[in-house]
Amino acid sequence: MNKSFLGIVLLFTYTLPYAMISSNEPSLKKKYIDTYKVLAVEQMKLYGIPASITLAQGMLESGYGESTLAKQSNNHFGVKCHSDWQGGRTYANDDQANECFRVYPTVGDSYEDHSKFLLKNKRYASLFQLDKKDYKGWAHGLKSAGYATNPQYATLLISLIEESALHEIDQEDQALLIKPTQNISVIHIHENKVRYVLAEKGDTYYKISQRTGLTLRQLRLYNESFHQRDILKEGDKIYLDPRRKRSKTKAIITLTKNMTLREIAQEEALTVKSLLRKNQGVTADETLSKGKEIRLK
């Protein structure tokens, strides 16, 4: 057992009220990885968060699943209630006395909520632009974004990952067969580095809000509103981040079908205002003919 590493773990503020890590750390670590590896890979497939990062955070925050919070509340990531939490609650001393922590029906719910917690908070948005195999970038990004107060947080995560070769699990998204989770949207990354989901048949912004954890206000702010279209079309791109002002990859496109500038903006993850500035004399909702060139940057 690495006693110096264990000492750092025991000093970590989120685990102080809960984690009681025994001298049997190696076997606890292996047991945790074997038990929750599939959950972590599933989250990686759905949301693009490296499985290695999810597992390392779970181990660190929960004391390898042995903390009181993990055992009694299925909370493996030390996620606190915050004002929008509608689920079960438990209380313990942490950074302050008698703080509220989330209670989950299952550990799977804890993993799912952890992914959505990162997804819907803007301060973590830049992490989703990283490669899902870039565990070091994610570790440092989580620390920089303020996930934890411990100055060694990124180092702790990277040590856990490399000691157990968890980064190899990040390669397993094709090797492990995982049944899709119901009512979950798969996250895609547009070439302009904006996250999006594809609308399903009969989808609405409300349904997508429920699946992704973003608010209706955020979804409507990040996406175009089309006249007389209350229900989204199957396959529509629905963005989870603000769209860009210019394309990162294309200066000009030639339309392959008749489209409006508003439709082009939604397809290309760009704002209508930016396209209007780049294409003088065109209005947002006039139909542009196939073959017309449109400037994107």
Q: Is 151 exposed, middle or buried (0-12, 13-18, 19+ CB in 10 A)?
A: exposed
Cα diameter, the chain:
72
Q: What pLDDT was estimated at residue 83?
A: 81
Give the whole-angstrom CA distance, residue 136 versus residue 134: 6
Instruction: Classify domain 3-171 at the CATH topology level.
Output: Lysozyme (1.10.530)
Which of the four CATH numbers 3.10.350, 1.10.3470, 1.10.3210, 3.30.1360 does domain 185-242 have?
A: 3.10.350
Strands 195-198 and 252-254, sheet pairing:
unpaired
C-alpha distances (whole Å) from 120 to each of 178, 214, 240, 245 are 24, 5, 8, 22
Same fold, 3-171 and 243-297: no
Burial 34-48 (b: 16+ CB within 10 A, else e): eebbbbbbbbbbbbb
Per-residue pLDDT of the chain (297 residues; tens, 9 = 90+): 232 333 333 333 334 333 444 446 778 899 999 999 888 988 888 888 999 999 999 999 999 999 999 999 999 999 999 887 888 999 988 778 888 999 999 898 999 999 989 988 888 988 988 887 899 999 999 999 999 888 999 999 999 999 999 999 888 544 333 334 445 567 888 888 888 889 888 888 888 888 887 888 888 889 987 655 557 888 989 998 899 999 989 999 999 999 999 999 999 999 999 999 999 999 999 999 999 999 999
Q: What pLDDT was estimated at residue 230?
A: 57
Give the whole-angstrom CA distance, residue 164 versus residue 181: 27
pTM recorded for the entire structure: 0.63
Contact 139, 158 (CB under 8 A): yes
**Domain limits of the chain?**
3-171, 185-242, 243-297
Q: What pLDDT was estimated at residue 1?
A: 29
Residues in Cβ contact with 175 at an 8 Å cutoff, skipping those fewer than 6 apart = none
- Beta-strand runs (E) in the chain: 88-92, 99-103, 188-189, 195-198, 237-239, 252-254, 293-295
Nearest CA-CA partner of 110 in 172, 40, 160, 24: 40
Q: What pLDDT was estimated at residue 132?
A: 79
Q: For the segment 58-86, what is each residue's pLDDT rounded down to a tens digit? A: 999 999 999 999 999 999 999 999 887 88
Contact 235, 264 (CB under 8 A): no
Host H or E run for residue 283: none
Supply the DSSP string of 178-222, one letter for each residue: -PPPTT-PPPEE-TTS-EEEEPPTT--HHHHHHHH---HHHHHHH
- Beta-strand runs (E) in 49-96: 88-92
The CATH superfamily of 243-297 is LysM domain (3.10.350.10)
Q: What pLDDT was estimated at residue 113?
A: 92
Give the whole-angstrom CA distance, residue 96 versus residue 267: 46
Tokens of 215: 């608010």
10 Å Cβ neighbour count for 290?
A: 10
